[in-house]
Amino acid sequence: MLPVEVDSTGYVDAVGQLAGANRAVVDAVDSLTDVLYASGAMAGTDTGGEEWARQYDPAAAQLVQAGCSMGDALANMANLLNGSLANHEGAEHAALMYPGMPAAASGDTDPAHGTESLSAPAPPSAAGGTGDQPGWWHWIAGHVGGLLWPDADTGKLRGAGAAWVKAGASITDQQYAVDAADGALYAIVSPEMDDVHGACREISGHLGTLGGACAAVGKACDDYARHVDDKHKEIEDELRSFIEWTIGIEAAGGLLSVVTVGISEAAAQAAEGAEVANAASKVIRILNELIELARTVKTAIETAIKSIGEVVLKLGKFVNAKLVTALEKAGVGVARGERPAALLAELDREGVKFSRDDVMMVFRDSDGRIVFLEKGNANAGFEHILGEHADDFVKAGIPKSEIQSVIKQALTDGNVVGTQGRGRLIYEVTVDGEVRHVAITVGKNGYIVGANPRSVK
């Protein structure tokens, strides 16, 4: 068995770093959504704007959700570590000062190490625009094949872009905090700490992925705003003479003959048609270029968030299972470690009935639940296991003296590979280099009712 050394300073430092990262991520997402909720209808009602919005909207929703999940994951890490510290302190107190009596330990009580949570709805759709168009647009609106003037709100796009980039940078920066927490936890020596260090590395990687995706979406907002402004200017430059021509006509009260002095009405109308057709062809070319640019930016968004759905899924599992198991085993189960007196005291508080004098071993299983084996009788407990299956264990290569340790190994480190009868779980463990299978029944109260070796085909 590997040694276990617990340094409360390592816990406190790690809790502080992780709680700080939690608050920073929550603050970043909160500030981001404040801007985004005021940035609806910013992409424009034109073809390019609609295509861009169709890609942006789900990306924004996924990233906000991922940011909230990231905050919860970091909070969960900090709170689990703090709970581990509290339980360790309680176990030490109970064992060293008042055997059998748990202490009301509170772990890291620094208020600066508190955590936060954020639940944010999806941002409003980017679809829609300002509705603005230049005064001369009506001259060619019916001659551009149904294309619309790009009415994106470039101010909103730039504001949203800056908010995304800022949030992305803040989220990415929290990798340093998680790495620092990971470093602090090396002060704790325990067989399960490899899982905890792995969890830290995993969430650090997710922070980088999430921060990078936010920055990429921010750049996409800024790029599209720039493209729209550039194309607006290009159209105005290309159509300068046409715009001046329309201004002249409108200044003359709409009388084409005033502007086309000296030619017939038919010739004037032909000249007007030529001007409009020439202007329309230029506008069509430029707007089609903008549509292609919108598609390019859209593709950039799609690429940036490709992995975000997977990150959200992993964070959900991360919060709900993996880290809980790792930290409870490493922290709450110090010394594998947690003092039996503290575990039995916890069972007492939970109202579980047991005979303290008959308890042969008590520990936490791989799910963090307290389980215990009593001497028992012919129907349940260790006496039942020996009476019914001692010879079976010996035939399976497990001496009577090792039955307890094999049961404990199965419940703490074994893999469930099947069931026996009415749901007795079959665990796979390695004993002296050989793979063994043990079926174990544990009651709802954590009482180990029975166990037997089992062959799995």
Residue 456 confidence (pLDDT) above 80: no
What pLDDT is stored for residue 439 in this prediction?
Answer: 92
Helix 193-238 crosses helix 8-36 at what angle (to 10 degrees)?
20
**What pLDDT shows up at residue 257?**
44
Same domain, 319 and 424: no
Distance CA 312, CA 335 (A): 34
The enclosing H or E element of 429 equals: strand 424-431
Q: Is the per-residue pLDDT at 72 higher than 90?
A: no
Do 84 and 190 lie in one domain? The reply is yes
290 lies in the same domain as 404: no
Which strand ranges, in their side-by-side order, compose the sheet holding 424-431? 415-420, 424-431, 434-442, 448-453
Query: Would you place residue 30 in the very low, low, confident or very high pLDDT band (cuts 50, 70, 90)?
Result: very high
Query: Which range in 101-115, 304-318, 378-392 is most confidently predicted, on average pLDDT?
Result: 378-392
- Is the pLDDT score of 447 beyond 90? yes
Share of the chain above pLDDT 90, in %: 28
Q: What mean pLDDT comes out for the span 258-287? A: 59
Same domain, 29 and 82: yes
In this structure, the answer to whether residues 206 and 317 fall within a common structural domain is yes
- In-domain check, residue 249: no
| Distance between CA atoms of residues 143 and 138, nearest Å | 10
Domain assignment of residue 93, yes or no: yes
pLDDT average, residue stretch 9-29: 88
The reported pLDDT for the residue numbered 44 is 92
Q: Are residues 371 and 320 in the same domain?
A: no
Domain contains 364: yes
Instruction: Give 105's pLDDT tier (boundaries 50, 70, 90).
Output: very low
Residue 157 domain-assigned (yes or no): yes
Same domain? For 232 and 376 the reply is: no
- Number of domains forming the structure of the chain: 2
pLDDT tens, position by position, 287-312 = 888 888 877 776 777 777 777 766 76
Mean pLDDT over the full length of the chain: 78
pLDDT for position 10: 67
- Does any domain span residue 278? no
187, 7 in Cβ contact below 8 A?
Answer: yes
Same domain for 40 and 74? yes
Pair 140, 38 in one domain: yes
Per-residue pLDDT at 430 exceeds 70: yes
**347 occurs within a structural domain:** no
Q: Helix, strand, coil: what percent of the chain each, to 5?
A: 65, 10, 25
Per-residue pLDDT band at 77 (split at 50, 70, 90): confident
> What's the mean pLDDT in 106-115?
55
Torsion of CA 175, 180, 181, 184, to 10 degrees: 160
Owning domain of residue 169: 8-243+286-332
Instruction: State mean pLDDT over 149-169.
Output: 95
Given a cut of 90, is residue 102 above it in pLDDT? no
Out of 153-157, 193-197, 270-274, 354-358, pick the least confident. Answer: 270-274
pLDDT tens, position by position, 330-356: 544 433 344 677 778 878 888 888 888
Least confident of 222-231, 256-265, 290-299, 314-323: 256-265
Percent of the chain at pLDDT > 70 equals: 74
pLDDT at 422: 75
Of 299, 332, 365, which residue sits at a domain end? 332
In a domain, 61, yes or no: yes
| Position 139 pLDDT exceeds 90 | no
pLDDT of 172: 96
pLDDT score of 100: 39
Classify residue 213 as exposed, middle or buried by CB count within 10 Å of its CB (0-12, 13-18, 19+): buried
Are 432 and 297 within one domain?
A: no
Co-location of 310 and 363 in the same domain: no
Does residue 225 form part of some domain? Answer: yes
Beta 370-374 vs 415-420: how paired, if at all?
unpaired
If asked whether residues 378 and 320 sit together in one domain, one would say: no
Q: How far apart are CA 19 and CA 38, in angstroms?
A: 29
**Using alpha carbons only, what angle is made at residue 330 by residues 370 and 431, rounded to the nearest 5 degrees?**
75
